[in-house]
Chain A
């Protein structure tokens, strides 16, 4: 099947408006007869569910957690971008579009990104109307901060808990519709397959995670909003339950999977401490507004620090290497995430890592504390303030800005980051790749949509900070509700979709067979042991830098591991009960397939772009080297084993932006 992105004709800035003017609409009376399934209740799924229900559709929403409020969007810290230009610093829709395309290393679709930038301002208005308590200045107006890869302040925030506040906003909008009966909420339910009838997505098979019951749910359209697949690495900043299963099941039924190798490794996470580690914790990018990143200049100092004979605070300014400021004077500590992560890896690989594992760099707030303290002393008219007083005043400001992050760090590491620099290291955080969708956010299965992190559409090869929240809410509040209506306009006479059909029988049967296999296998190795092995292969060979040899090994090793899994996996307990191991076995089975496709995609993409860094393709300075012949989206069609997947290319054309070398120097 040829890929058709369905991007509307006309000038970039008019495409979305013209599109909305011309699409088919469903009248309110007819919406009452149309059902929509939404899988996932994070920012994308939650906002979509609420908005579709407000419009009058009957929504069935599914979450594997015990409440929609617990989806992992809740953990997003730093902020949400919007082209409001409240700071008068030259921001505009075009500039947000430009920054996003450039930040994504020219690997995203122009029309989608422009639409995202266009609706960004509406998101802030909507959230404020919902009662989201964004940070404000003393005049009562909204405050902004800066994020990486941009030269304006367009990030709105609610302390270090912006994701939480936005998700609770979407959750509150959902609650209003749940109360009206327009959303039927299925908590502790996991989608295990999509049901395709006459070529259209018409329902799902879900497992009740409390009783183990397998359920059939039908609808006129199915929306996948299940987030990213970062947990293929085992260790990531994702939640423990985050998984690719919904996206992978639709892939197996005909949805193409795009750019799986585009993964974001976030530069500022708390370094790992031992083999028992179950997850990694992010320290918001917003910290790079005020924190300076460095390692010692001399290897002798590194040695003494690792041995505990010297402390970072003992090193003078001359003895420190602020390597981001040195290498990228224009953007300094606020370079984009892929650039910052690779720079940290480069220093640590060269032996400058500052903790026992050699995988940590410093994020230092001492200068910011003095800067804020000096300013506060002036504001408070304190003459000749002592150093101690200045520090005290400065710490109060830093605490107000990042208090919860500092507390989180202190609880995990047992060190006080106000006094000694934080130690950080890159970790898997977000996946730009995902289910391929057209301009309508529809996958290659008619009637099946993918929104938020689950799709591939807007971030190209690297996502800028504070843009994930923007995309999730843009898709759910302002894009999907229009595009899905255009499709559903043909369904007003269809009537309720029956679930007693051969298609549902078949899907349920295969789900049940899979579950019975796990329960009856009685193997010797735990699910987690496979997940950890997969994660290690992924991190070592498909991590921050990749090469052909390693990727070929990864493909072999993952394929072997998958065979071993299907032979020897041990899942205790019963099918018809609350059984976390069983749920996890199904998720790991899908990761074991995705991981191989991931490596294959990375092998085929013989260039470096954004988060995908091929060692064979770098400039003499070690920067990513993009190649014109790879200016396309890789969309993979499922054909059985991952090695048999067929590549389809969607050419990317840039008519409104000049494709240049991406420089932050």
Chain B
């Protein structure tokens, strides 16, 4: 009987530092993360629990969390944030799947296309948000182009895409920014084994649709899932784009947290931090799910 394959067999026999040694080696880097991130989170939690001597608050309680969670505005903001993060992530994932499939063979042949797709990854969200204002605002580039082409009579006829009810501007900005990221993740999987599996599918009599349904989708699912969860986590916790392109009411949670935190009334600060901690929990949950998906995919031999 053949013994089960052990892809990590080489790693097991390779000499290297043990777990304790590894922790020691990583300690300088870990200390910075713990102090800056963990310390900040702990300080925020203490303040969210009501310990803010500068504002005359010294008693620890869950009161601020309770007030935040029962505030109708919080629920509206939470729903709006979920809507924007969920919609933009879903649209970006859908476009990314189609783009990756179209580009799969092209990218293999052309490094230029590969490079072009990496460029948007380096552009900050804030720059894209400002560009969205210039293009999508009622007096923006598109509106004026539509007037010039005679599609609309005046700029006022142009649909409201910035600071609008449905967060179109925010969603478009996120979609533009996140499509390359998810596409690159999918392309990495397709380049690794996707095309070879499709060839197998062809010789095993699968039609083009069957190959997409039974080979491509299951192959890229972990990559799409993990990338989408990361994108969701980012868009759920991002502040600058909805701050620039969103409405004043209801606000997304990060904007709401920022407003409370930076309120002139110091008593609003614990509620702002409590909101931030709720955001952090949702983001961490998404990241943990992404990690689980990645781990499950790696166990199956898919490299992400």
A and B found bound together: no
- B-side residues, CB < 8 A to A, are none
- A-side residues, CB < 8 A to B, are none
